[in-house]
Amino acid sequence: MTARPPRPHRPAPDTDQPHDLVGIGIGPFNLSLAALAHGITGTPRPLAATFYEQRPAFHWHPGLLIDGASLQVPFLADLVTLADPTSPWTFLNYLRTRDRLFPFYFAERFHIQRAEYDAYCRWVTEQLPGLHFGHQVDAIRWNDERSLFEVDFTQLDAHGEAEALGRAHTRHIALGVGTEPHIPEPLKPLAGAGSVPVIHSADYLHHREQLLNAEHITVIGSGQSGAEIFLDLLRARPAGQEKLHWLARTPAFAPMEYSKLGLEHFTPDYTRYFHALPEPVRDELVPHQWQLHKGIDHDTITAIHEELYRRTLHGGWPDATLTPGVRVRTAGRVATTRVELHLEHTQQGTRSRLTTDAVVLATGYRERPLDQMLDGLRTRLRRDSSGRPRIDEQFRLELDPAITGNIYVQNAERHTHGVGAPDLGLAAWRSATILNSLTGTSAYHLPQRTAFTTFGLTPHTPNIPTQAPTLTPLVQSN
């Protein structure tokens, strides 16, 4: 075995100039922050911001870019428009640079395809400065002597192997490490192991051909991803030989709440209202709001029904079973080539078994735990009664007052800010809120009212910074 070269030492802490902001993770939310940070003017000097991402390049849910699948938010929910429609990083400007404005205009698409959103974000990453892919952040600490955060990272080569070590210093940090696929406990021993495909929907397209070769396929999960995957499999199977099961815990394959007033739950007004509620009330609310963000869009439900109906035109019914209100109690392999699911119907209280040749888990995502990355700040991080990080209205972790810098979070604050945390439509507003807080200015004008609905009897006044901190001249390091 060839010995690996010794790992290089990290540079001494005083070899770099401090940044104003280091972003960790480059998904849509931190990419929004980077794009809006690039556009800040009117401050004593440009904002020194840099962003690190472990992956070699930007890809947004590549395993779910099913042909024809669209975003569940309008194209105006791009990285910047709802905070700064004049930004060079808007989706419309992306179309302009591709000479596609007129085709888009005549297409009359308010909701664009996922693949196009992914291409738009990659266009931004290819041109926006200050983004560093192939950089894995290893640790974060607070340096009391310098009053700066230390961010240790490993630069990776094209194969994901350690190439060099580095350290950055920064006044503020933005955590945008995203979410990770959620696999239900009973199915964890089976996922990704053995000859029977038990895969999460995040990897669907990577395993599609293998799945289509399976005699019987089970899809678990009632959200948009589960519906799109079920529809894709249904269209690819011969009529009368579909051999598909679609199971869900929810009491129905329900449509997404898409009424105009219902959508106001994804406004800054509701986010501020939710944040001001007592912690027990917030915890009780979130599970009951599943239809706001875990339902299926009307067009997909319609397409599924139409495809099923089309298969009855010559008599008979498609060999497809759709059953909501079901949970998987346990699961195991049968003769190494099949999976047996032990099911329970939550309303009937009945139980049964289902044997299948492949399972797709459209069971959603969970926020990535921050504890390991923040281990160096463990004793200086304030937590709620459930041990979760406390996050203030401006998306800052509540830290020991002796720490003068801020750590902002993106899509890790559902327990404090509600169902809008993972919603793309609030990305630009949240990024602008963070940048206004970080600079102490109104770098971006944010409306004080965004909804016709008045949430609560006591009006809430947003906490808007009014005085800018002193920014000393510095040279941004690479």
pLDDT in tens, 348-370: 999 999 999 999 999 999 998 88
For residues 223 and 295, the answer to whether their CB atoms sit within 8 Å is yes
d(CA 154, CA 378): 22
pLDDT score of 425 more than 50 = yes
d(CA 32, CA 40): 13
Confidence band (pLDDT; 50, 70, 90) for 465? low
d(CA 142, CA 29): 24
Q: What is residue 240's predicted lDDT score, i.e. its pLDDT?
A: 92
Q: What is the rounded average pLDDT for all residues in the chain?
A: 91
Longest dimension (CA), the chain: 79
Q: What is residue 293's predicted lDDT score, i.e. its pLDDT?
A: 85
**Helical H runs in 66-149?**
91-97, 101-107, 114-127
> CB-hemisphere CA count at 13 Å for 141?
13
Q: What is residue 265's predicted lDDT score, i.e. its pLDDT?
A: 95
Give the chain's end-to-end CA distance (angstroms, integer).
35
pLDDT in tens, 97-148: 999 999 999 999 999 999 999 999 999 999 999 999 999 999 999 999 999 9
Confidence band (pLDDT; 50, 70, 90) for 478? very low
d(CA 135, CA 141): 17
User: Checking DSSP bridges between strand 320-323 and strand 244-247, what pairing results, if any?
Assistant: parallel
pLDDT score of 14 more than 60 = no
Q: What is residue 473's predicted lDDT score, i.e. its pLDDT?
A: 40
Confidence band (pLDDT; 50, 70, 90) for 42? low
Q: What is the pTM of this model?
A: 0.91
Residue type for 252, please? A
d(CA 351, CA 388): 36
Query: How many other β-carbons are positioned within 10 Å of the β-carbon of residue 271?
Result: 28
Q: What is residue 90's predicted lDDT score, i.e. its pLDDT?
A: 98
pLDDT score of 3 more than 50 = no
For residues 222 and 195, the answer to whether their CB atoms sit within 8 Å is no
Q: Over range 332-339, report the average pLDDT.
A: 90
pLDDT score of 9 more than 60 = no
- Tokens standing for 398? 């509540």
pLDDT score of 470 more than 50 = no
Q: Over range 16-20, report the average pLDDT.
A: 88
Q: What is residue 6's predicted lDDT score, i.e. its pLDDT?
A: 43
The CA distances from residue 27 to 24, 87, 138, 379, in Å, are 9, 19, 18, 28
Confidence band (pLDDT; 50, 70, 90) for 10? very low
Q: Over range 181-207, report the average pLDDT.
A: 91
